[in-house]
């Protein structure tokens, strides 16, 4: 549904990328009012913003003062996006300064606010910036972590503006949830979640592997929706060619054992883990150092050995922590690991309730998402359907629809268990 969006533009070189974000918003039918800071016009001029948005562009509260723009713009907005959000702009927003139209508007809005930071690494890492980001998040704003890449000049590192298409994806999720989320903090604010995605590969030789058809679309949908709900997200991706979701730390792996190491390390301080990846059950017992040649003779049998069950291992580790008195890592005090919510995925041709309940008990997780594969469902498709079985005896049917919708319903179940 079309929405009224305020696009605030900070004075950073990444302001030119906000033009692409504006195009994505307007082409989706949204009415967008661009509110740059005065210095932002040094990077992209007023005429450009007005032409692309079809709306007037001002930077001060004195233009059209009879309409009280610093109040009216914020009161009528369904979403505010600040991109790029510079260190200076976030500092002024955090302390409530209102020296220009954008900062004044930020004081009047009661809708979701999304900040997409862009700055040099040293500025992002500075204690003052980190404190301002924390404060904005505590007040309910969604502040994305910046991407890693080329910065101004020859510098590279953390601080790059996330890809405009990925900012748009988060913004779309915020708009979709605006009517149901209600007031207050996003329901995953302050939570750290770990998500696995994609399909693992087990090498037979340097050119062949055992794998599966998973593309990572569902896991990435979980990551995007979790960011829009305020979570800190770590995504462990196996052989995925999708762009990194905005605001997400991505760890890339290849094999099941690599995924086990990465997920286990990240899960030690996580509130929830969603194992959406398709993990190979077996791997070759030995890997050939050279390419296996076709020499006219049939190859010998390929001996397989079982891969670790990552989800069952996480459940066992959780039980051990609980039995030991549930020590809490210092950096995660207040979020006991024994209360960690574990979500498994089962892409099945047999989706019977009995089979699902048996697998749920064997894995030891809290929720098991059972989704059918085949007939246009499952791997590589934009939509999905599932039944989510709970260890508490519940069963939640999710009708066929976009994978983001499935992810949001599962996050609803996770959030209820975390609270």
Instruction: Tell me whether residue 288 is in a domain.
Output: no
One domain, residues 215 and 166: no
Same domain, 31 and 151: yes
272 vs 343: CA distance, rounded Å: 8
Which SS3 state, helix, strand or coil, does residue 236 take? strand
**CA pair distance 317, 364, nearest whole angstrom:** 11
Is position 234 within any domain?
Answer: yes
Residues 196 and 130 in one domain: no
Q: Kindly report the pTM of this predicted structure.
A: 0.90
Residue ranges making up the domain that contains 92: 4-181
Q: Residue 223's CB: how many other CB atoms inside 10 A?
A: 30
Closest CA to 57 of 28, 20, 19, 24: 19
Domain end, chosen from 181, 212, 236, is at 181
Cα gap 399→94, rounded to integer Å: 41
Q: How far is CA 11 from CA 60, 118, 317, in A?
A: 15, 10, 47
For residue 77, tell me if it sits in a domain.
yes
Domain termination site, one of 114, 148, 181 = 181
Q: Give the whole-angstrom CA distance, residue 323 versus residue 306.
A: 28
User: How far is Cα 100 from Cα 91, in angstroms, rounded to an integer?
Assistant: 14
In a domain, 227, yes or no: yes
Q: List the CATH number of the domain containing 223.
A: 3.40.50.10300
* Helix 353-363 × helix 310-323 angle, to 10°: 50
Residues 175 and 201 in one domain: no
105 and 231 together in one domain: no
Tell me: do 79 and 206 sit in the same domain.
Answer: no
Query: Do residue 49 and residue 149 come from a single domain?
Result: yes
Bridge partners, 44 (sequence order): none
In a domain, residue 294? The reply is no
Task: Tell me how many domains the chain contains.
Answer: 2
Cα 317 from Cα 36, distance rounded (Å): 50
Sheet holding 79-85, edge to edge: 31-36, 4-9, 79-85, 113-117, 142-143
118 and 232 in a single domain? The answer is: no
Please give the Cα distance from 245 to 170 (Å, whole number). 9
* Dist. CA 209–CA 163, nearest whole Å: 32
Kind and range of the H or E element at 210? strand 208-210
Q: What is the pLDDT along the chain (419 residues), one digit of tens a residue?
A: 789 999 999 999 999 999 999 999 999 999 999 999 999 999 999 999 999 999 999 998 777 776 667 788 988 999 999 999 999 999 999 999 999 999 999 999 999 999 999 999 999 999 999 999 999 999 999 999 999 998 888 888 999 999 999 999 999 999 988 766 444 689 999 999 999 999 999 999 999 999 999 999 999 999 999 999 999 999 999 999 999 999 999 999 999 999 999 999 999 999 999 999 999 999 999 998 988 888 777 777 889 999 999 999 999 999 888 777 755 443 444 343 458 999 999 988 888 999 999 999 999 999 999 998 877 677 888 999 999 999 999 999 999 999 999 999 999 999 999 98
Q: Which two tokens stand for residue 282?
A: 């077996």
Residue 75 sits in a domain whose CATH number is 3.40.50.1950
Shared-domain flag, residues 348 and 249: yes
Respond yes or no: is residue 239 known to be catalytic: no
Active-site residue, selected from the candidate residues 212, 239, 307, 405? 212
Residue 390 lies in a domain: yes
């Amino acid at each position: 549904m079309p929405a009224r969006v305020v696009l605030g533009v900070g004075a950073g070189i990444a302001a030119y990328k906000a033009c692409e974000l504006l195009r994505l918003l307007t082409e989706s039918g949204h009415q967008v009012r661009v509110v740059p800071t005065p210095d932002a016009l040094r990077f992209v001029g007023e005429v450009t913003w007005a032409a692309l948005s079809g709306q007037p562009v001002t930077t001060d509260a004195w233009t059209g003062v009879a309409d009280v723009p610093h109040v009216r713009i914020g009161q009528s907005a369904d979403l505010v996006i600040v991109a790029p959000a510079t260190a200076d702009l976030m500092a002024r927003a955090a302390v409530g300064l209102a020296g220009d139209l954008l900062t004044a508007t930020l004081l009047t809005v009661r809708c979701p606010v999304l900040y997409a930071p862009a700055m040099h690494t040293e500025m992002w890492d500075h204690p003052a910036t980190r404190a301002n980001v924390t404060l904005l998040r505590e007040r309910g704003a969604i502040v994305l972590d910046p991407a890693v890449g080329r910065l101004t000049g020859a510098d590279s590192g953390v601080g790059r503006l996330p890809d405009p298409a990925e900012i748009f994806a988060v913004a779309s999720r915020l708009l979709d949830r605006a009517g149901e989320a209600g007031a207050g903090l996003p329901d995953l604010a302050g939570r750290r979640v770990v998500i696995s995605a994609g399909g693992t590969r087990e090498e037979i030789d340097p050119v062949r592997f055992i794998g599966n058809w998973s593309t990572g679309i569902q896991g990435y949908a979980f990551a995007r929706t979790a960011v829009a709900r305020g979570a800190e997200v770590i995504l462990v991706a196996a052989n995925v060619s999708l762009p990194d979701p905005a605001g997400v730390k991505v760890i890339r792996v290849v094999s099941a054992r690599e995924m086990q190491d990465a997920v286990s390390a990240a899960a030690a301080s996580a509130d929830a883990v969603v194992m959406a990846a398709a993990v190979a059950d077996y791997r070759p017992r030995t890997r050939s150092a050279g390419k296996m040649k076709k020499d006219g003779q049939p190859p010998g049998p390929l001996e397989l050995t079982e891969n670790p069950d990552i989800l069952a291992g996480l459940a066992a580790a959780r039980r051990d922590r609980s039995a030991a008195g549930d020590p809490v890592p210092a950096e995660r005090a207040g979020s006991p690991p024994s209360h960690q919510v574990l979500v498994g995925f089962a892409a099945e041709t047999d989706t019977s309730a009995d089979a699902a309940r048996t697998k749920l008990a064997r894995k030891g997780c809290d929720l098991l998402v059972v989704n059918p594969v085949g007939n246009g469902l499952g791997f590589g498709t934009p939509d999905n359907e599932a039944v989510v079985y709970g260890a508490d005896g519940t069963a939640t049917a999710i009708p066929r629809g976009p994978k983001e919708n499935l992810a949001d319903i599962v996050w609803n179940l996770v959030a209820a268990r975390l609270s």
